[in-house]
Amino acid sequence: MKLVAIVGSNNQVSYNRLLIEFIAKHYPKFHLEKLEVRELPLFNEDIAGVTPAVVEKWTKKINKSDGIIIACPEYNHSVTAALKNAIEWMSYQVHPLKQKPIMILGASTYPQGSSRAQLHLRQILNSPGVDANVFQGQEFLLGQAKTAFDQSNEISDPKTVSFLDDCLQAFAVFVKKVKRGNKGGK
Amino acid sequence: MKLAAIVGTNASHSYNRQLLQYMQRHFADLAQIEVLEINQLPLFQKSLPRDQQSAVWSFKQAIKTADGVIFSSPEYDHSIPAALKSAIEWLSYHCELLDNKPTMIVGASYGPQGSARAQEHLRQILASPDLNAAVLSGNEFLLGNVATVFNEQGELTDKAAVAELEKYFTNFVSFTKLLNQRSPQAALMAIKQPLISEAFVQFPTGKLSLQQIQQIFSTMPFEVDFIDATDHFSWFSDKAERVHVRSVNSLGETVQECHPPLAVPAVEKIISSFKSGEKNLVERCLTLQGHKILIRYYAIRDVNGHYLGTMEFTGNVDHLYELFKNGSFAADVTTGASKKAADSTDSTDAATGASQLDTAASAQPTTSTAPAAPDTTTGASQHQE
Ligand SMILES: Cc1cc2nc3c(=O)[nH]c(=O)nc-3n(C[C@H](O)[C@H](O)[C@H](O)COP(=O)(O)O)c2cc1C
Ligand SMILES: Cc1cc2nc3c(=O)[nH]c(=O)nc-3n(C[C@H](O)[C@H](O)[C@H](O)COP(=O)(O)O)c2cc1C
């Protein structure tokens, strides 16, 4: 299985990136490849007629993958502009997210752990221009992110690690199902 | 009433911009609407260096000085555009610019739903604790099928939509008036009086009432700003027609916040030279819109020399300059060779004297006391003429 992970924060130090790196380290079977939203220029209809090379690169990587994990931070009860920006690029000239299995998770320094941003992201990914196949049900929220990681960037609470594992295993099953379904359809 | 209307897209053609421009004209008698663009703003990033934040600073100033804000948002992927979200993130990060600010949401879209989902997200975003805007509830204005509702003059042709917008905007004007009434700072500015008008200050050299002090500051030909010892903008003289327009909304800000990003290093340098005792005065001369402006920064110290703050003393010196050119200062009274001032202003002798003095003056540039004077193009403060 080959998954792509999108880090939804453009911060130099990001808990959402740590979360993705944690998954990459402990789940080698996902062959997780990290994409950083900070690589992308700000979307503007004036220039969007020509798809930038970096968006082409994302498109290729996403097309080659079986599914996507998005680490979604929360700013002002919604997704970050930096992440929304990435989605706009992928809903205009190119549509690599179309019917792609996507899992949403997120870390936040506030106690609720990006719950509202995740809800907005679900609605955005379900809009017709994006039309992703969002994995429903499991919601992984890492609140109080400042204390959630230990010195070696491991998640310190075993219950959290085990819940994350449940979510990821369920997503892996979903990705396989979609893949099989796609093959069967051909 | 002054309102800032934010165009919720960075695209150069926008129906949402058209809507705001229409509102600006249509409601000119009710409010002064400034249409603000977000296309100059960089994508929000927590650690973006300050020298790249000039556009952000100007945008924030425009919001700060407005009595209320209008957002006109397109819908991208069932939410607001990233460019608008980014602008809002700038308004929320380390500042409380929208806190309790009267806010109205409108939106236009290509399809029939008129950005309904984006407006819903925008309402939720503006309610988040770091923004806490006072959004007018209800009064939802959704303009669908925008490609067909404006005529060539940019007028809205849909009569029902115009009536709806008029009703909602009138509600917003009342809402804004109501909220701004409650602000104690606004009330304070409105009566133009210090709080305890009966109190006196006994100086070693005499006594003044607070009212007299206030009126002296308002009358003297220079304007004064004060930055306290902890580098916060804490007071400005309430003078009509200031060179640097100040707002009570800026009081309490740090020097880093209240100056344009490019000017901050120069201001910090002046203040640190005052704190260290290296300097007591920095002077700058500049020409602004054809006027000669003199700015002097003074270190204010207590009798023991302990730093209390920085005073910025700014004035238009056109008149002094004219007097000087006319030779009003030509003769030294102490030598006894003086003429009466009235004589000297129209005498040809004085005119000759003036040209000599001009030469002398240019040989001694007035900026000589300020080797560290900041570049005038960066400006130590915003010039809002
Ligand atoms: C402008 C701004 C707004 C924020 N708003 C929220 C919020 O509404 N809810 C929340 O849980 N955290 C909020 N936060 C805190 C973020 O959760 C925190 O910055 C987190 O570290 C971001 O994720 P990252 O570490 O991956 O960059 C906000 C942070 C910023 C800079
Ligand atoms: C990336 C992108 C996504 C869009 N998604 C939506 C949408 O979800 N719903 C909608 O009504 N219109 C959508 N539109 C169309 C906009 O409503 C239309 O471009 C409109 O003219 C934008 O407002 P403006 O004219 O003020 O720029 C989308 C446009 C773009 C460029």
User: Which domain CATH number covers B168?
Assistant: 3.40.50.360
Kindly state whether residues B68 and B174 are assigned to the same domain. yes
> Are A38 and B10 an interchain contact pair (Cβ–Cβ within 8 Å)?
no
> Are A120 and B117 an interchain contact pair (Cβ–Cβ within 8 Å)?
no
Chain A contact probe: residue of B9, B85, B88 with most A CBs at under 10 A:
B85
> Are A84 and B81 an interchain contact pair (Cβ–Cβ within 8 Å)?
yes
Residue B147 scores a pLDDT above 70: yes
**C-beta B76 within 6 A of ligand 2:** yes
**C-beta B9 within 6 A of ligand 2:** yes
Kindly state whether residues B13 and B92 are assigned to the same domain. yes
Is some CB atom of chain A closer than 8 A to the CB atom of B43? Answer: yes
Residue B374 scores a pLDDT above 90: no
Structure confidence by residue, pLDDT tens digits, B64-78: 999 999 999 999 999
Q: Is residue B310 part of a domain?
A: yes
The chain A residue lying nearest B132, using CA atoms, is A76
Q: Which residue has the tokens 């607070």?
A: B210
Residue B246 scores a pLDDT above 90: no
Contact status, residue B86 vs residue B63, Cβ threshold 8 Å: no
Kindly state whether residues B119 and B154 are assigned to the same domain. yes
The chain A residue lying nearest B131, using CA atoms, is A76
Quote the domain boundaries for residue B360: 327-384
Dihedral sign computed on CA atoms, order B260, B265, B268, B269: negative
Q: Can you tell me whether residue B214 is helix, strand or coil?
A: helix
Kindly state whether residues B136 and B88 are assigned to the same domain. yes
Question: What predicted TM-score, i.e. pTM, was given to this entire model?
Answer: 0.81
Specify the CATH number of the domain A3-182. 3.40.50.360
- Max Cα–Cα distance, chain B, nearest Å: 87
Kindly state whether residues B227 and B161 are assigned to the same domain. no
Kindly state whether residues B94 and B153 are assigned to the same domain. yes
Dihedral sign computed on CA atoms, order B196, B197, B198, B201: positive
Residue scoring higher pLDDT (A35 or B359):
A35
Kindly state whether residues B108 and B246 are assigned to the same domain. no
Q: Quote the ipTM score.
A: 0.94
Identify the domain boundary among B273, B305, B322.
B322
What's the confidence (pLDDT) of residue B240?
A: 82
Tell me the shortest Cα–Cα distance from A164 to chain B, in angstroms.
27
List the single residue in A46, A123, A124 with the smallest CB-CB distance to B11: A46
**Element at B257 (helix H, strand E):** helix B255-258
The amino acid present at A16, given as its one-letter code, is: N
Work out how many domains chain B is built from and give that number.
3
Kindly state whether residues B59 and B175 are assigned to the same domain. yes
> Are B78 and A124 an interchain contact pair (Cβ–Cβ within 8 Å)?
yes
